[in-house]
Amino acid sequence: MKVIPVAHGLEDVLGKNLPGYQRTPGLHMSDIYNDLFQELEPKRYVAGSNPDPLRLEAGQLLESALKQRLQAVLMGDLAPGELVEPEHGIIFSPDLILYNAKVRVGEVKLSWLSMREMPIEETNGLPPKFDKYIAQMESYCHCLETPYARLYMFGVNGDYKRPYQPKLQAWDIEFSARELHENWEAMINHARRQKFL
């Protein structure tokens, strides 16, 4: 047997947006919450660093595949594309908008973080290491005027117990009006402080 490593030529496309998607110029919600969390957790979210393109690619592939699978199970606009928050013109793009008697923001996350602490029964919150996911969903819920969200999370290493087993879990989340208001105020105040607005 002869095995020869070859250049795959994918360096310039891995971790980029999926084919056919161009990001609209302007202020995006992700600009705000990414910058905010770089300020809140600078060791974890390093300003100016580039995310690992292979991890980004894995997340985009999961999101794309899960949307296709959900199409057969759920009613809704599974690929809403970019939307614009009317008051400030902030561009945002939830992964999913689900309709089942309620409008529900859906987010798909691929994570290498342990899912050990994630709830398996009803509770009042998620572990703090997932605060950025919550802030993102709250922002989208505010813009879509719904308190309802659903988080799909694929944990690559599950709960990090050997043997490592991936996990796919989902949670319905209902935010209070106060939670949505406080998050939105934090986002807008941060955007103003950083002169995004």
How is residue 3 annotated by DSSP? -
Axis crossing angle, helix 29-40 with helix 131-144, rounded to the nearest 10: 150
Residue 111 domain-assigned? yes
Residue 8 domain-assigned? no
Q: How many structural domains is the chain composed of? A: 1
How many CA atoms lie within 13 Å of 18's alpha carbon, on the beta-carbon side?
Answer: 11
- Nearest CA among 187, 120, 124 for reference residue 153: 120
Give mean pLDDT, residues 94-111: 88
DSSP E strand boundaries for 2-159? 76-77, 83-85, 90-92, 96-99, 103-111, 148-155
Kindly indicate the confidence band of residue 188, based on its pLDDT and cuts at 50, 70 and 90.
very high
Query: Can you give the residue range of the structural domain that contains 53?
Result: 29-193
pLDDT of 139 over the 70 cut: yes
Residue 61 domain-assigned? yes
18 or 22, which is more confident?
Answer: 22
CATH of the domain at 143: 3.90.320.10
Residue 7 domain-assigned? no
36 vs 131: CA distance, rounded Å: 11
Residue 24 domain-assigned? no
Give me the pLDDT at residue 76, please.
55
Residue-wise pLDDT for 143-163, tens only, equals 999 999 999 998 988 898 888
